Amino acid sequence: MAEPAIVAESLTYRYGNLLAVDHISFTVERGEILGFLGPNGAGKSTTVKILTGQLRPLSGRAILLGIDVARCPKQVHSRIGVCFEQPNLYEELSGVDNLHLFARLFNIRDVDIAGLLHRVGLDGRGNDLVGHYSKGMKQRLMIARALVNRPDILFLDEPTEGLDPTSAEAIRRIIREEQERGATVFLTTHDMYEADRLCNRVAFINSGRIVALDTPHNLKQQYGKRMVRAEVVGPDGSLLTREIVLDQPETAHEIANLLQHERVVTLHSEEATLEDIFIQLTGRALV
Amino acid sequence: MHITAIWALMVKDARLYAANRLFALVTVLGLVAYIVIYFLLPATVDEMLHLGLVIPDTPSALSEMIDNDAVQVTRFTDVEALRKAVASGEVEVGFAFPADLYDQLRQGTQPTVELLLAPEVPPDFVSVYAAAARELSFTLIGQELPVVIKEEILGVDMTGASIAPRQRILPLFAVLVLMVECLGLASLIVAEIEQRTIRALLVTPLTVRDVFVAKTLFGSLFAFGQAILLLAITGGLVKAPLLNLTALSIGSVLMTGIAFLIATLGRDLMSVMGWGMLALLIMALPTFTVLIPGLAADWVRIIPTYYLVDTLHRSLNFSADWNDVSGNLLLLTAFALLSLALGMATLQRRWKLFLNN
């Protein structure tokens, strides 16, 4: 069995008096998409910076592809791609020039720039200055830049933050494609829908600690409450909401009662969202 | 060391520099301006002393002076005409002896000799002209001092070979060219932090050392190239080309180190320009020792560019060779390495602070 792509052992980092990452440990298997879900300031980006060698942890180890990042960062850097939370492109250069530069930095001579631009939906805009790109276009170019070296591990820090639905969906498609190629994806987000749809496993992080880590399905099974939500017409004609928790002894009776005695307008079964579970576990919302 | 990556960074910086209209324009126009000014300045020095006289007669000593190649004497009929000539710049100094000079002397009164000076005559020279007026007075009344004056030039006789204004200004232009590129490099480095691109660079196989090598090579070669162009066009590479190129290359490294220091202090383009102007003023000070000899005090030797300016000046204008300027080159090299080391250390620290936040 192949060793995990990422092994984090008791990582700790502090900004002054603030403990940003508090002894977190986890592994990510090869070819897996792991999502780090948490609100702003939870420690997601700091964890990414430690894993990618930008920060040296105060304690603990980060091992990527069997290589200790702190000891041999450059060996790791040749095999990972990083898409940052904030744009950091050369705005006075074109999209093509930005990609060419980073290809040269990775010593890649035969990179298919046109193919990369096509993948991220920037056909025909490659020769425009990056300074003239919209936010979504810059984000897509950063994804393209992260893919220049066909990385074994792709780190995406809030890749769809602030993007329009079309751009966001394009990025999600690319993430799935990369997984199909065999890459491991480490994704940070505070968008529960994105985490739910994309990730094989999700880690909830709050105040620098992982409070839960499992598949979205298991998290919902373990922590979520299934229920039926009905909208009924009230005595004064207004719409009222009724919730009936499933899997309880009295569930069937309550549903029958509802249908018999209330004027039901809509009836839906629901399961807990990841945000519901996050709030339940941490007492905080994701945003 | 990743040669390909370093070269890619250098090409990138060259393109970004060219894309920055301010620096691109200043670089090109500056170079053109220096060359134009150089050729507009006089290529020779007028060593002739233009002297005006109002004098009752012409004694033999004055005849010798009139025959001297270094002095052009013009006689005027009256003091007013002489005043006008001095005021208009036709003559630099005028001696006006009273028409009744001999009558006054016979009567035992003290005649007044008017010494008329143009405004641009240096203060040091006033007493010299006053002494000359006294000497001429003695000659006129037939009481020359019974001494023989023997002249001896210690060092290179610059008679007929005085340093032309355009030659004096060349070291200043060389320093300016290097400093402008220094500001350009500093602004490129600051932009890497402003745009956060340094973070993107350092999650590739590129190391911090690679980045510094690329910046040092780009900054030094770009500045050096322009300085060579300036000297080549102005004829500065005809004399001792290897010596001058060596001095300029070391000067380029010095300026690269200063660029790193400015980039450490600067937060954006405005602050880079501010710190850069201060550095420029300090670095340009030694050039005034060449432009106006005797103006600057010895303390100017603590400024690193003094050793570049002095080397170029002596090489270009006094035919100095390697032995003559070896001390300068050694000190310049030491300053260059020190500024580079200090600049790298402080800039790396600044990058670390940025990356850790």
- Dump pLDDT digits (tens) for B84-95: 988 888 888 888
Q: In angstroms, how far is the first alpha carbon of chain B from the final one?
A: 27
Residue A192 pLDDT > 90: no
Average pLDDT for residues B48-55, to the nearest whole number?
81
| CATH ID of A6-221, from 3.90.1150.10, 3.40.50.300, 3.40.50.920, 1.20.120.640 | 3.40.50.300
* pLDDT at residue number B296: 60
* pLDDT at residue number B289: 77
* pLDDT at residue number A284: 73
Residue A256 pLDDT > 80: yes
Query: In Å, what is the CA distance from A208 to each residue of A22, A274, A277, A278?
Result: 5, 18, 18, 14
* pLDDT at residue number A114: 94
Pairwise CA distance, residues A253 & B105, whole Å: 145
Residue A144 pLDDT > 70: yes
Q: Are A32 and A81 in contact (CB under 8 A)?
A: no
Query: In Å, what is the CA distance from B163 to each residue of A74, B33, B66, B233, B342?
Result: 57, 21, 25, 19, 37
Residue B254 pLDDT > 80: yes
Q: Give B170 or B290, the one with higher predicted confidence.
A: B170
Q: Give B296 or A147, the one with higher predicted confidence.
A: A147
Residue A247 pLDDT > 80: no
Residues whose CB falls within 8 Å of the CB of residue B349, separated by 6 or more in sequence, listed in order? B264
Considering only A81-90, B277-286, B295-304, which range has the smallest mean pLDDT?
A: B295-304
Residue showing tokens 């499933």: A246
CB contacts, 8 Å: A106 with chain B: 204-205
Half-sphere exposure of B332 (CA within 13 A, CB side): 25
Please give the residue of chain A at the shortest CA–CA distance from B6: A105
Give the pLDDT band (50/70/90) at residue A13: very high
Put simply, whether B2 touches A (Cβ < 8 Å) is yes
The model carries a pTM of 0.79
- The domain limits of chain A are 6-221, 225-270
- Tokens matching residue B149: 């004056």
Please give the residue of chain B at the shortest CA–CA distance from A16: B357
CB contacts, 8 Å: A78 with chain B: 204-205
Pairwise CA distance, residues B154 & B158, whole Å: 10
- Tokens matching residue A54: 């930008």
Put simply, whether B196 touches A (Cβ < 8 Å) is yes
CB nearest B205 (choices: A91, A92, A106): A106
CB contacts, 8 Å: B207 with chain A: 74
Top residue of B204, B269, B353 to mutate, by most chain A CBs within 10 Å, is: B204
Q: Give B63 or B241, the one with higher predicted confidence.
A: B241
Average pLDDT for residues B68-83, to the nearest whole number?
82
Considering only A179-183, B166-170, B219-223, which range has the smallest mean pLDDT?
A: B166-170
Half-sphere exposure of B79 (CA within 13 A, CB side): 11
Check CB contact under 8 Å for B199 and A54.
yes
CA-nearest of A153, A176, A8 to A78 is A153
Residue B162 pLDDT > 80: no
Q: Are A31 and A179 in contact (CB under 8 A)?
A: yes
Residue B239 pLDDT > 90: no
Put simply, whether B355 touches A (Cβ < 8 Å) is yes
Q: Are A71 and A91 in contact (CB under 8 A)?
A: no
In chain B, the domains with their CATH numbers are 3-42+163-355 (no CATH), 49-140 (3.40.1710.10)
Considering only A76-80, B62-66, B121-125, B167-171, which range has the smallest mean pLDDT?
A: B62-66
Pairwise CA distance, residues B261 & B342, whole Å: 7
* pLDDT at residue number A35: 95
Give the pLDDT band (50/70/90) at residue B26: confident
Check CB contact under 8 Å for A77 and B4.
no
Check CB contact under 8 Å for A105 and B15.
no
Residue B158 pLDDT > 70: no
Q: Distance, in angstroms, between A218 CA and closest chain B CA?
A: 35
Pairing label, strands A184-189, A33-37: parallel
Average pLDDT for residues B38-59, to the nearest whole number?
78
Put simply, whether B202 touches A (Cβ < 8 Å) is yes
Top residue of A104, A110, A142 to mutate, by most chain B CBs within 10 Å, is: A104
Give the pLDDT band (50/70/90) at residue B63: low
Q: Average model confidence (pLDDT) for chain A?
A: 91
Residue B131 pLDDT > 90: no
Angle between helices B165-194 and B21-40 (to 10 degrees): 180
CA-nearest of B316, B176, B353 to B235 is B316
Check CB contact under 8 Å for A82 and B8.
no
What's CA A284's distance to the chain center, in Å? Answer: 18
What is the dihedral angle through the alpha carbons of B123, B127, B129, B133, rounded to the nearest 10 degrees? 150
- Tokens matching residue A49: 């910076």
Residue B113 pLDDT > 90: no
Average pLDDT for residues B113-133, to the nearest whole number?
82
Check CB contact under 8 Å for B202 and A54.
yes
**Region for B196 from its dihedrals, namely left if φ exceeds 0, alpha if ψ lies in -120 to 50, beta otherwise:** left
Instruction: Provide DSSP, B120-137.
Output: TS-HHHHHHHHHHHHHHH
* pLDDT at residue number B144: 66
Q: Give B67 or A101, the one with higher predicted confidence.
A: A101
Percent of chain A with pLDDT over 70: 99
CB burial of residue B25 (10 Å; 0-12, 13-18, 19+)? exposed
pLDDT tens column, A261-271: 889 999 888 77
Check CB contact under 8 Å for B5 and A105.
yes
Give the pLDDT band (50/70/90) at residue A187: very high
